[in-house]
Chains A and B, each alone.
Chain A
């Protein structure tokens, strides 16, 4: 079956622009995560959705970052007024339930802010 997909795969933005990154989770998966991976580092947790509810946004680095999942399926991560330090790979993962089973990752969106 289809895995987690993300679009676009690559995004180049000028400093100060707004960007929107899309995640299509595996159909029927309850849980959805966003992670940020800087070059040479492991991914870091940004935010968590259970269905349409954003239950944890403790990892969002600033109020310029906003995520939504209005219908409990597709999610969008929006970054306003991008800065150079926002350059990273943004990974989305989904999990079938709300427990501790495996998270399935998408290929990521590589964001470069010039």
Chain B
């Protein structure tokens, strides 16, 4: 059974810092990997989707990498801002339904 782990569970940083969130998965037979953001009381917002054949994706201040063979992904956030405060979820796409298997998330707080 695919398991996704995210480290750390919580992170607090001062505004302006660069930071890295880690994600690992146990089964490398994935279609894609996706990073989401979740704000309290709201649904999930897709940040980046990395195809299994890709190594990284970039969007603005966000950069996500994927090492499928070792079962790892990282989300790099540059020049963090208080508005980046949220829970970040990593998910792999697997299965006949191409459903998402999520980690438990990293709760990020960026202090002004």
Do A and B truly interact?
yes
Binding site for B on A (CB under 8 A): 4, 31, 33, 35, 40-45, 48, 55-56, 59, 91, 93, 95, 98-108
Q: Is B101 an interface residue (CB 8 A)?
A: yes
State whether A98 touches B43 (Cβ < 8 A). no
For the complex, what is the distance from the CA of A35 to the CA of B99, rounded to whole Å? 10
For the complex, what is the distance from the CA of A48 to the CA of B46, rounded to whole Å? 19
* Chain B residues closer than 8 Å to A48, beta-carbon distance: 97, 99
Number of interface residues of B (CB under 8 A): 27
State whether B97 touches A55 (Cβ < 8 A). yes
State whether B105 touches A42 (Cβ < 8 A). yes
Which chain A residue lies CB-closest to B44? A105
For the complex, what is the distance from the CA of A101 to the CA of B51, rounded to whole Å? 9
Question: Which residues between 57 and 112 of chain B lie within 8 Å of chain A, taking CB atoms?
Answer: 89, 91, 93, 95-105
Closest-CB distance, B92 to chain A (whole angstroms): 11
| Cβ-neighbour of B102 out of A31, A42, A55, A59 (below 8 A) | A42
For the complex, what is the distance from the CA of A107 to the CA of B99, rounded to whole Å? 18
State whether A4 touches B104 (Cβ < 8 A). no
* Chain A residues closer than 8 Å to B36, beta-carbon distance: 105
For the complex, what is the distance from the CA of A55 to the CA of B102, rounded to whole Å? 20
State whether B97 touches A91 (Cβ < 8 A). no
| Cβ-neighbour of B43 out of A33, A59, A108 (below 8 A) | A108
Which chain B residue lies CB-closest to A6? B43
* Chain A residues closer than 8 Å to B42, beta-carbon distance: 107-108
| Cβ-neighbour of B34 out of A4, A102, A107 (below 8 A) | A102
State whether A45 touches B100 (Cβ < 8 A). yes
State whether B44 touches A91 (Cβ < 8 A). yes
State whether A100 touches B93 (Cβ < 8 A). yes
